[in-house]
Every structure is written in structure tokens, then in C-alpha cells.
Structure 1
Amino acid sequence: MTPDSQTNFLFLADSLPKKYPEFYARLEKELKKHKVDFGFLPGTKDVWAVDYMPIQVGKKFIQFRYDPSYLRFKKYEKTKSDVDSICEALGIKTQKSDIVLDGGNLVRSAHQAFVTDRIFEDNPTWERKALLTELKNLLELDRLFLLPVQPGDFTGHADGMVRFVDEHTILANDYSKEPKKFYEAFEIALHNTGLEVIKLPYNVYDNTSNSHANGDYINFLQMEKVIFGPIFGFKEDQEVIRILEQAFPKDSIIPIESNELAKDGGILNCISWNILR
């Protein structure tokens, strides 16, 4: 699979500058400053591009079915972008799968990936082992790890929980203040991977809603040689940037104030569809 660290072109939803003009102005300034090539996905209906766009595997693009359980209400139909039309406009041919999977619930390196167990709820007709085997085959993975869904996270996504540093090391949220049952299940899941774990500060506890993601620093945008890390004006901001600089010493770590996005439940990885051209 194509890991974020090897991507060199960023697509953003064309709806992003309209919905979050102040945030977009900050992001655009930094993208241009650091010479990141970027463009826009045409005709989008929401900004969370990583969720509905296909997954790049080498020269292939695997298009999973974008029909998550949390959007299966009539009022959300207008938020679903026409991915076939977007890909056609970009000249991208996709290989379709009937598996329901959001891009936000796939955290990947070249040979390994994480998903949460929401994958089973979204695909109730699949036998669990067969589902995981099919995912591994489609994505050309050696190992696929399961995480428990975080309580209160209606999306059930993994990209706000863990990220790969390399094939041997991951970053993971410090969930020590979370409910004991979830915290222990999460720690067991991490231990069972056999990977080295670096903990990242996690502070969402002053947010006024479970749908706010302010303080979830792990949802950063990673590309070749550069990482854009969300900051929120919290006391943890500087510590997080320092940890990222130590974990990725060859990359430029760029802080981006991201409160507007986070108050709507997503952050930098959520708005990004970055690929290798």
C-alpha cells in the first residue's frame, strides 16, 4: 500500500475554502511556503475527503463503498459526494470493492494497517475472518490490526487514534484518562501488534461536545518530507510538535491552528486525499 510518507500531491475538497475560509487561508499559505503540490477535488459535498476517496495501492486505486453506519439517515444523503464523477474528472480509474470502509478508518504503512472493529458493524453480511482476509489481499498487506472503537466517537475511525512512524513504530494517543475498559482494551491491542509505541498527548476533556476533536493531535497530515500538525492553543501544543520532530527527524513539522475543523469533528488527515503521482 502507498503510505502517507511517500505521497507527493495533495487533493482537498473544493468545498473546503468556502466552508472554512480562515482555516484554508492559513493552510494554503503553509502549503505554498513548503512547496507542496496541491489541487482540488471537483464537485464535493463535504470537506472530509479522506473518507470517500479511494485508497492508493501501488498504481491501483481501490474504491470501497462509502456507506458508513453513521451516515445512513436521509438527512445525510446530501453530504455524500459522487466519487465516481470526481474520479472521472481527475482521470482516475478505480477498482471497486463492495466492502464498506471509510478512508479515515484505515491507518497505513507500506505493509501494515489499522482499522477499528467498526468494520464489522459496517459489513454485517461478511464473516469476520473472511472480511479481514479480503482487506489484506486488496490492500496488499502483511498484517492488519484491529482497534476497539473509542467511546463517544460516532465515526469509529482509527486515524484519530494511531499513526505509523515506520514499519516498527507507531504513535498512539495517551488514553489514560479514558474509561478503564476502553483504555485497557486499547493498550492490549497495541501490545499485541509487537510494535514500539510512542505516546502522544491527548486532551479533549474541555470540549463541550463528543463531536469536537480539539486536542486530538494525532490527526495530522503527513506527506513526503513534511508533516502538518494541528495545534489548538492548548498547553500541549509545543510538546506535541517536539514529539513529532523527534519521531520524524528528517521531516519538516509545520503547526497549523485547526480549531474550526476540530469543532466539526475532523482535523487535518480528515480533509486530505494525498497520493503518489
Structure 2
Amino acid sequence: MSVLPAFYLADTLAPRFPAAAAALTAALTAAGAAVNTLPGTCDVWARDYMPLPTPSGNQVLFRYTPDYLRPRRYHSTITDAAAVLRRLGLPFTSSPLVVDGGNVVRRFGRVVMTDKVLRENPEVPQTQLLASLANALEVDHIDLVPAHPRDFTGHADGLVHLLDERTALINDCRAQEPSLWANLQAALHRAGFDCVPLPYNPYQNPDFTSAVGEYINFLCVGSTLIVPTYQQPEDDAVQRCLQGLYPGHDIISVDGRAIARQGGVFHCVTWSSELAGHRGE
């Protein structure tokens, strides 16, 4: 039986979302993962500012200066991830490229990112940028998909979840957003993926910041899925869909509303120093 990587939650999560943090910690523990705390953080979105682990065991710390945090009023929300890593005693290497961890969907030796990474690094020619990213992440190439046109973060982890090396789960937005559906499918098909729709319904949210109704940001922890619920009809449909797609997996449902209203769900608020895809994910 493979050993699961430890998961980390920002030390800002429990004070801001005590019930959600407790429920997520309990779910991760029930799945067999150790849960630790990132000290000295400035916001809860650990996935975005912490480094990306690679197959060789390296930790690549990209520059976390996304365009949506560049106004001075947001500077106090940017965590010094290098300082966090030093407190934890974890080694890392730094990259000059601007990358949010939430824009990296990685499993089975594949990496999917949205084209937002091109806009975040305009001074680097596209071919050079993609080659540098592939080299840093120790993969053959990067598969690009279009960012959601209304998602200011441009993150891939709200669009895609890799079921296996040839199959991608994507939000079932075909009725409400047919152009996005077509463009996302086309990009993934070019990359060699078959696409499977996952129920999705954020269309009652007051603004696009809220991720309520988005399920694709679930966690796969060994043979357990930790899936957000929102007390809407799609909750049951998602569970049935995932039970069929992940035979032999347990599903733990956790209320995701409090966190999702702020813009992300469970993948967004968790980080691991190990590459889970090489340890049984």
C-alpha cells in the first residue's frame, strides 16, 4: 500500500473558516493523510503561492505576483512562501516565471494550464515560456487550454480534473456557456484527452467570484475523494457521476459553501510537498 503525502493548510484557514477547516481536516485524516499547518500565511489559498513539487523531489517556487494582486491594496494578502518554507525546513528552488499553483493541473505525467500563464509572462516568447515551464516541472510539454473569460484568476483547477492520462473531467457548461464548452473540449482533444462532463451549476451566484456550484475542485487522496457540496440538486448528481468514474473509491462529502463563496474550494486551500501522482493518487 502506497504512503499518502502529507497535506498542509494555511494557518489563516481555521480562524477565517473554522467549521470548514475542521471538516476538511477530518476528511483528510479519514482518507489516511497527515494534516499539517503552513505558518505565517497571509491568506488561505495555499495551492496558489506554495511551490510545485516535481518527480525528482524538487520544490519549484514560482513568482506569486498575479495581475489581480498587483494593486497596492492587495499586497498585504501575498504570502512570503519562501519564508514559510524556511520555517518548515523544506528546500526549494526559485523560478523567475509568474505562475499560480492553481493554474497547474498535474497528474499521470501530464500538466494542463490555462493560457493565462502567457498573459502573466508577456516578456517571454510563448515557445520559450512553455519549454521553461516543462523543464521546471519535469514534463515533456505543457498542455494549454483557454481560461474562463470571466475568471480573473485564470486557474485551470476550476476547469479540469485529470481522471487518467487520456481522460479529463470538465465542467458541464455546454447549455449555459457553449463557446467555452467547445473551446475547452477542442483544446483538450488536441492534447489527446477524451472529455467527460461533471455536473456544474454556479449560475445562481451573485457574482463570478463565488465558486459555489463548482465541483471539479475536489481532492483525490489515495482511494478517497473529498467532494464539496452546496445543498443544491447537483450534489447528488456529482456523487453518482464520481462513483461511476472512480470505482473502489470512497467519497467524503464536505460542505464547501463558506470557502467557495470566497472564490475557491478544496484543491485551492490544500498543498502537499510531495507529488501525489507518484504516491498513489
Normalised by the length of structure 1, the TM-score is 0.94
Displacement of 1:6 in angstroms is: 7.9
- State the Cα distance separating 1:41 from its structure 2 match: 0.2
Structure 1: tracts of 5 or more residues without a match: none
Q: Establish whether residue 240 from structure 1 lines up as the match of residue 230 from structure 2.
A: no
1:15 equivalent among 9, 12, 22: 12
In structure 2, the gaps of 5 or more residues are 276-281
* Range moving further from structure 2, 168-177 or 41-50: 168-177
The answer as to 2:50 corresponding to 1:50 is no
Q: CA offsets per residue over residues 238-265 of structure 1, 9 Å max, x none?
A: 1111222222223322111110011000
Tell me which amino acid in the other structure corresponds to 1:130.
Answer: Q
Alpha-carbon offset, residue 27 of structure 1: 1.9
Q: TM-score, normalised by structure 2?
A: 0.92
1:150 aligns with 2:140: no
Tell me, yes or no, if the aligned pair for 2:59 and 2:273 is still in contact at 8 Å. Answer: no
User: 2:279 matched to which residue of 1?
Assistant: none
Return 172-181 or 152-161, whichever deviates more: 172-181
Q: Which residue of 2 aligns with 1:161?
A: 159
Aligned residue for 2:67? 69
Q: Hey, what's the Cα distance between the residues in 1 that align with 2:30 and 2:188? A: 36
Q: Which amino acid aligns with 1:20?
A: F
Change (3 A) 1:142 1:247: farther
Give the aligned length.
273
- In the other structure, the counterpart of 1:212 is 210
SS for the counterpart of 1:96 is strand
CA–CA separation in structure 1 for the residues paired with 2:107 and 2:140: 10
- Cα RMSD of the aligned pairs, angstroms, is 1.6
- How far apart, CA to CA, are the structure 1 residues paired with 2:114 and 2:15? 32
Three-state SS of the structure 2 residue aligned to 1:272 is coil
Q: Is the 8 A contact 1:228 1:255 kept in 2?
A: yes
Q: Distance in 2 between matches of 1:65 and 1:192?
A: 29
2:27 alignment counterpart: 30
Deviation (angstroms), 1:172 = 0.9
| 1:7 Cα offset (Å) | 4.8
Secondary structure, in 3 states, of the residue corresponding to 2:7? strand
Match of 1:182, SS?
A: helix
> Offset at 1:22?
1.6
- Structure 1 runs (4+) greater than 6 angstroms displaced: none
**3-state SS of 1:146 partner:** strand
SS at structure 1 position matched to 2:168 = strand
